[in-house]
Chain A
């Protein structure tokens, strides 16, 4: 593979992996979150292919496509608004009552939205993390410093519905972001400060055969431990998940 092609593929897949994981955290729609994360995992599988670990790449996709679809079903089942009210695409007034999800949205935010319809330039702005912070002009939240967003905006973090708190993130988001940033930055600095050796050449091999042989000889303990782990998971799932 020529260097240009390899770099292009690497950059595409790396962008996909990082953007997918990040978008997963920033979207209101649960289904979109699952699909974005699936995209991230599939990009990582693509990176595995670039690293010539074809078997692991296939296993990764097999596991995570199934796993993410199951997760999406659970999120849709358990969260109060899995569609993010279908990403808050504000429906036209006359079609409002045809859609229940939007109708609730409408009831709750009705006054605010009507206001903004009557006087379009008197837009209200609110902090994604602190719904009680309101302002008539765009700016920064006095409490956490995040950018204020218009209340009728689609993809902001907070919605009130049926009196329930609908925020995706809790109030410690800023410290969490700092910790995450520090963790990533420390690792990144460590990675970049070291002079890594280049890759040795690779013979043409059948990874399925080699992994199978290793699993049945040197790493049989991993194989049997996996069986125990899987049955533990099954029993746990059945006990915890069954109906009363």
Chain B
């Protein structure tokens, strides 16, 4: 392993910054969801990098990454479902125009 841990963590930090920028700046609801996925992926990369460099014999790191993946998937499914509902009722999905979700 000639690539140091800091290199992986740096990639993860940059991805996190991009994800935060995306969540805060995008208007399309799906784009906001996708940016949130980028943040979750940055976290996953951190988890796996720490697993490999700190405790490769304890698989807790991989299980944690798997849990993050599950949460990302469910978030994606429910988020998209909310958007389908809003879209079918109002025919638009720009987040800054949706003040309340009660419908």
Which A residues form the contact surface with B (CB < 8 A)? 3, 6-7, 10, 14, 17-18, 21-22, 24-25, 30, 33-34, 37, 40-41, 44, 47-48, 50-53, 55-56, 59-60, 63-64, 67, 70-71, 74-75, 77-79, 165, 167-170, 172-173, 175-177, 179-181, 183-185, 187-188, 190-192, 194, 196-200, 202, 207, 210-211, 214-215, 219, 222, 225-226, 229-230, 232-234, 236-237, 239-241, 243-244
Contacts and interface: CB of A to CB of B under 8 A. Distances in A.
6 contacts: A44-B41, A179-B20, A211-B59, A211-B63, A233-B78, A236-B77
A10 B30 CA distance: 30
B45 to A, nearest CB: 6
Contacts of B78: 232-233, 236-237, 240
Given A24-B22, A237-B77, A196 B5 contact: yes
Contact of B67 (A78, A179, A226): A226
Contact of A172 (B7, B16, B19, B24): B24
Nearest to B93: A78
Given A75-B28, A211-B66, A229-B74, 7 more contacts: A67-B76, A74-B30, A74-B84, A176-B24, A188-B14, A199-B5, A232-B74
B74 A176 contact: no
A34 to B, nearest CB: 8
Contacts of A175: 24
Main secondary structure of the interface of A (DSSP, over half): helix
Given A55-B62, A181-B21, A240 B81 contact: yes
B63 A3 contact: no
B96 interface: yes
Contacts of B31: 24-25, 33, 75, 168
A199 B87 contact: no
**Across chains A and B, which 10 residue pairs bring their CB atoms closest together, nearest first?**
A184-B17, A180-B21, A176-B24, A187-B13, A3-B2, A240-B81, A176-B25, A233-B74, A199-B1, A191-B9
Contacts of B8: 47, 51
A41 to B, nearest CB: 6
B41 to A, nearest CB: 5
Contact of B3 (A7, A18, A176, A229): A7
